[in-house]
Amino acid sequence: MHPFNIRTSYKAIEGPKWAPYPQAQRMEPGRPRSTRLQGDMDAADAVDGLRKCRLCQQPGHDRRTCPTRQ
Q: What is the pLDDT of residue 46?
A: 56
Tell me the CA end-to-end span of the chain in Å, nearest whole number: 87
Q: Is the pLDDT of residue 62 over 70?
A: yes
Residue-level length of the chain: 70
Residue type, 10: Y
Split at pLDDT 50, 70, 90, the class of 1 is low
3-class state of residue 65 by DSSP: helix
How does pLDDT run across 3-60, given as a tens digit for each residue?
666 666 677 778 777 777 766 667 778 888 888 887 777 766 555 557 788 899 888 8
Residue extents of the structural domains in the chain: 44-70
